Structure 1
Amino acid sequence: MTRRKKREFNKERHEQDMNKEAFKFPLDIDGTDSSDDGAIQPLDTPPAYVRRPQRETKYKTHKPSVKRPTRMTISKARQVPSAVYGLNKPKRSDRDEREIYLEKFKNYNSVIVDKIVEERMQREKRKDKQKQKEQQKRAELAALKKKRDAQKANGEIVKAKAEPKNKQHDTLSVLGSKQNKLREKQQAATGKRIGPNVTQPGVSILGTAQAADYKAPDNNLAKQIDDAFDKLNVEGRVTGYTSNGVIGRYEVKLNRAFRVSNIPRLNTALKAELGLDELRIMSPLIGTSNIGLEVPLAEVRPITFRTLFEASSLKLRKPDYKFAVGKTVDDKIFSYELSKAGHILIYGNQPNYDTNVIDNIMLSLLMNHSAHELKVAVAAADDTYDDYLDVPHSFGRRMAPDDPETMKIFLTELNERSVQFRRAHVRNIQSYNSRVKFESKKATLVIIIDDLAAIIENKNPEPLRGLVQILKQGKPLGIHVIANNMNTDQNIRYELLQLLQTKIAFYDAENKAVSGTDELTQGNDALAVIPTSNKPNRISVGTVNKNVRQSVFDHIKHNNR
């Protein structure tokens, strides 16, 4: 096998090729050197500024000639016959784009679009009439001026023009009579208040705030906790303390070798050592590897609605449908948006505190929303929530929850909104309200149901079917349900629990609605589950004084007329 010779660079051949292809300056084409000025040139040689024909180089630089057409060259493509018309093309009339558009949407019916088109046509007609009047008036003024000039030229006596009573009508403006009407309205409205008489309730009528002396820890209890860990031979020390005025949490740092599965046994042992009836262990705390011992305080500082309002974003007075219910154990306000919460379930047999949850939600909404933005409907057997029907936000009279006609009224409203949203080509209430006028906007409807067990236990299945339909379709249409279930003996179907996305559960030994409620204390202690998180939050529900609630209602009734 012969080995291939290695390619090498031939320097002499390269220099010869470069000398042949080197480009010479036009003035040095004859090959003479510029330094030989005294050399004699022949007579028959052309001048130095005349360029000689270009010599052929090794590589040709001219373009190849274009091929001439032959009998095989296709000069023009033949006409391909159509399968339907053959070689005879159908005659198509040239139509305007507007005709094509109108033909495309001739069977389309929309109340909103028809109304917009009608208003536009009326506005164009008014403009045309106004232009005609202005042109007619200008023509009359021009004819009158021409007549007076002719009379002056003939020497006739021209009568002086009488001054008008109102000089405002002398000049003709582009607006014409509209300017006069606008001036009259401004004169009539001088000294009068313009706009509706609607004011929001002030913070001063919300009563007193929560006492601020609840943040100090109980040093004796902290020392007892350390001693209890020593007796149980568990490495643990109290490192921090937080409280919301009702529940106190002691943060304990354990050894890393401690198993999480031993926390239930540790809870039982600590209750016996500390002599506490109520103790809940939070493991682990968010952002740390420590555990939290949650203990009810001996001296409770009630959480008032004023504290919830001032310490949250509700004080910004924005119409964002936010509500506040209470405080978490780490002293943070538990607030959420109604549009995200969807439908709310209040579960637990706490006759004094379940009403506080509804009062906190409704007062939060009433403080920042007018009657045009919020409507309240009540389906209850007693008169507990009749105060919400005396305000302008009321949707109607109080109805029984187990009455089949109650759900029919709400379903009628649901179907009407669904049809209107579909005609407007929107899917939710936010998009619909952003497209229509102020008078046509839809208000968010909140339905209070007390008690949910009356609908579940009812032998007639129609109310329950109507409620399920509202829960499935009502959220994007702006209809929200707040269902209060006090009877813990009655089981709630899993489908119904899934449709009620936000759950606030009080003490329940069987954990039917939310797991972990068996470790809560009796009273305003509750677990809250929101749609965006599966982990329940322990909250202390705020209290609402009757005088505070009545003050808010009186302000709304007398200052929103």
Structure 2
Amino acid sequence: MNRPRRRRQFGYNVEENHSDKERFRFPLNMDESIQNETTKVQEESNAGIKEDNDPIRRQQQQSLLDDTRFNRKRPKKNTITKARQVPSAIHGSKGNPGSRVGEHKDSSADDKTPGYVSPIVEQLKRERESREKRKQQRLQSNEKKTIPTHATSLDPGPSEAAQPQPSDLNQNEENSEGKKATSPFNVIMTPYDKNKHISKQNTVKRSGPKNTLPPLHILGEGQDSAYETSGESYADEVVAAFDAIGVPTKVIAYRTNGIIGRYELSLERNFRLNVIGKLKAHLVEVLPFDNVKVIAPIVGTSNIGVEFALPVIHPIPFSTLFKSSSLGSRKNDFKFVIGKTVDDQIFSFPLQKAGHMLIYGGEEIHSTSVIDNVLVSLMMNHSPRELEIMVASDKDDHIAYGSLPYAFNEPRSLKDKDVLSDVLEELNDRHNQFRRAHVRNLDSYNKRVKTDARKSMIIVVIDDLAELFEHNNPEAIRSIVQILKKGKPLGMHLVMNHSRKDVSIRFELLQMMQTRISFKDEKSRVVDNSDELVEGNDMLIQIPTSNKPLRVNAGILDQKIKENVLSHLKGMS
């Protein structure tokens, strides 16, 4: 469809309305003669206008001048001439809150009708007023306090003391006039300096802990250095035993922890290490030791190791474990120590990585020493606000921990149905609080909250787990399963002892225990190759960060030293 195009011209209607009015030619393409004539005509017209006194002519010229002049006072399209009185939830209504929009109100009238009142603004006003009032009261109370002046070396005599000083007269005049006391200095202080001086007086230094952690000398003496050479004289007999079965070897190193010794042997390059497994039965008959364990190869090397029990045992005291490890620096990293490995290295491990621990088999003396080493090493470096202990047992071995300030709850019997009810309630509370705080573990939660609201690490000792299975306490077993599933990130750890081998453990429960400690077990139910251990203080530890277990001998905590440490810990708060 063809439509006639309309010519677009700026001010088209204006030109039509004023077509009869005078127009001026644009003097761009004019000749000089024409330009001179136009200038003369313009000068004559201007002179005529000045001399002309015709009111009608003057009105026409004025209207023409107004139409051609650009009006700068004309508002733009997007300019709001008058703001609307719309009430706001934060700022309230602008202008007069009592008047409506567009309603004219006489200034002389006294209208007390309230308009829109914002509750947020009113609450902020009340808080600001109360804050200012408290600040003024605090300043007034601080100014009323008398600050003692420094005594000078020249003390006034009785005659001088009786005469009134000019400073006293001025002070009496100020008090009579009702003025407030100023700063004690003889200078004019600004309000900033005055507040700073008052804040220094009111600040109270932060006091440290009332009681200190147990000192290191309370742990007694360390291990005798004679253990390092014990069993070293069997090197020739070991080499002769390997030569007897046709395997030439050479002793490289010998290490011992005082209970178990190990020879490190190097073989020829063309010898296959998988043959050692077949020759192990012949080696046991030839070697001069009763209990022998052959390691082929040693982790990280191409050598083999021969481990054997020393005929003369040198016990490992707890003081050696604590002082020689990183625990001696007294850091609060929640590390515990158990014993020494065969290569004379101290076994220490953080509790957050260890998770839940199971101690399987062994005599009651050795399993108790493992639990004591874990608990005492943690209490030596942590206050009751950081660590709590709960004991569930029918024995008297760990009853002393219930009287300490570290106790989460009093010791309870495993036959009680509500033995772990408080622990399970704390577990659920922490789970809900961590979800509200949008965190997943205890460290993240403690970093977000204040010092008073921080959560402590909780250790639940269950001794003995076999009795719990025998007495058929389903409520306690359900609580244990819940703690095994959720407790590790929430800072709640189980340390369970299972001494009786005739009572089996369900496979599902065994898989949820991250750290497993096994003494000698002929069937190797908990840790593989535990049948090659020696009866007594010898165990394999399977940690979650390693595929192969470590052979460790537990340290011994003397009963007298234990009582001294616990008596010192009773005064902690």
**Residues 235-277 of structure 1, C-alpha deviation per residue, up to 9 Å, x if partnerless?**
2222221111111101111234444443344222122112422
CA contact (8 A) 1:353 1:523 kept: yes
Written as runs of structure 1 = structure 2, the 5 A alignment for 1:95-494 is 127-130=131-134, 160-162=173-175, 168=183, 173-174=191-192, 183=201, 194-216=207-229, 218=231, 220-494=233-507
- TM-score, structure 2 as length reference: 0.68
**Residues 321-363 of structure 1, C-alpha deviation per residue, up to 9 Å, x if partnerless?**
0011111111111110000100011111311111111111111
Structure 1 residue 232: deviation in Å?
A: 1.1
- TM-score, structure 1 as length reference: 0.69
Structure 1 residue 175: deviation in Å?
A: 8.7
CA contact (8 A) 1:247 1:294 kept: yes
2:548 is the counterpart of 1:535: yes
Which letter maps to 2:402?
A: L
**Residues 525-552 of structure 1, C-alpha deviation per residue, up to 9 Å, x if partnerless?**
1001100112000011111101111111
Which moves more between the two structures, 382-391 or 263-272? 263-272
Whole-angstrom CA distance in 1 between matches of 2:568 and 2:240: 55
**RMSD (CA atoms):** 3.2
**Residues 436-463 of structure 1, C-alpha deviation per residue, up to 9 Å, x if partnerless?**
1111111100000001112223334222
Structure 1 residue 391: deviation in Å?
A: 1.2
SS of the counterpart of 1:405?
A: coil
Structure 1 residue 95: deviation in Å?
A: 8.7
- Rate the CA distance shift 1:372–1:527 in 2: closer, same or farther, 3 A: same
Which letter maps to 1:183?
A: Q
Whole-angstrom CA distance in 2 between matches of 1:391 and 1:291: 48
Deviating 4+ runs (over 6 angstroms): 93-99, 120-123, 131-137, 163-166, 169-172, 175-179
**Residues 13-72 of structure 1, C-alpha deviation per residue, up to 9 Å, x if partnerless?**
xxxxxxxxxxxxxxxxxxxxxxxxxxxxxxxxxxxxxxxxxxxxxxxxxxxxxxxxxxxx
- Rate the CA distance shift 1:379–1:175 in 2: closer, same or farther, 3 A: farther
Whole-angstrom CA distance in 2 between matches of 1:316 and 1:421: 31
Structure 1 residue 497: deviation in Å?
A: 1.1
- Rate the CA distance shift 1:174–1:504 in 2: closer, same or farther, 3 A: same
Q: Give the number of aligned pairs.
A: 422
What does residue 73 of structure 1 align with? Answer: none
Which letter maps to 1:418?
A: H
Which runs of no fewer than 5 residues in structure 2 stay unpaired?
1-85, 93-123, 142-171
SS of the counterpart of 2:420?
A: helix
Whole-angstrom CA distance in 2 between matches of 1:229 and 1:357: 37
Structure 1 residue 165: deviation in Å?
A: 10
Structure 1 residue 121: deviation in Å?
A: 10
Whole-angstrom CA distance in 1 between matches of 2:260 and 2:305: 12
CA contact (8 A) 2:219 2:319 kept: yes
What does residue 97 of structure 2 align with? Answer: none
- Rate the CA distance shift 1:96–1:537 in 2: closer, same or farther, 3 A: farther
CA contact (8 A) 2:251 2:263 kept: yes
Whole-angstrom CA distance in 2 between matches of 1:205 and 1:98: 68
Whole-angstrom CA distance in 2 between matches of 1:329 and 1:486: 24
CA contact (8 A) 2:231 2:310 kept: no
CA contact (8 A) 1:429 1:476 kept: yes
What does residue 111 of structure 2 align with? Answer: none
Give the one of 499, 505, 518 matched to 2:531: 518
CA contact (8 A) 1:346 1:503 kept: yes
- Rate the CA distance shift 1:379–1:135 in 2: closer, same or farther, 3 A: closer
Structure 1 residue 195: deviation in Å?
A: 3.5
Which moves more between the two structures, 453-462 or 396-405? 453-462
Which moves more between the two structures, 214-223 or 502-511? 214-223
SS of the counterpart of 1:352?
A: helix
What does residue 114 of structure 1 align with? Answer: none
CA contact (8 A) 1:267 1:279 kept: no
Whole-angstrom CA distance in 2 between matches of 1:297 and 1:128: 79
SS of the counterpart of 2:225?
A: coil
- Rate the CA distance shift 1:350–1:173 in 2: closer, same or farther, 3 A: same
CA contact (8 A) 1:252 1:291 kept: yes
- Rate the CA distance shift 1:259–1:304 in 2: closer, same or farther, 3 A: same
Structure 1 residue 481: deviation in Å?
A: 0.4
Structure 1 residue 298: deviation in Å?
A: 1.6
Structure 1 residue 216: deviation in Å?
A: 2.2
Whole-angstrom CA distance in 2 between matches of 1:122 and 1:537: 67
**Residues 167-217 of structure 1, C-alpha deviation per residue, up to 9 Å, x if partnerless?**
64896845978965863676xx9xxx9443120111100011001122226
SS of the counterpart of 1:550?
A: helix
CA contact (8 A) 2:231 2:261 kept: no
Structure 1 residue 134: deviation in Å?
A: 10
Which runs of no fewer than 5 residues in structure 1 stay unpaired?
1-92, 100-119, 138-158
- Rate the CA distance shift 1:98–1:211 in 2: closer, same or farther, 3 A: farther
CA contact (8 A) 1:134 1:176 kept: no
Which letter maps to 2:371?
A: I
- Rate the CA distance shift 1:133–1:491 in 2: closer, same or farther, 3 A: closer
SS of the counterpart of 1:491?
A: coil
Structure 1 residue 466: deviation in Å?
A: 1.4
SS of the counterpart of 1:447?
A: strand
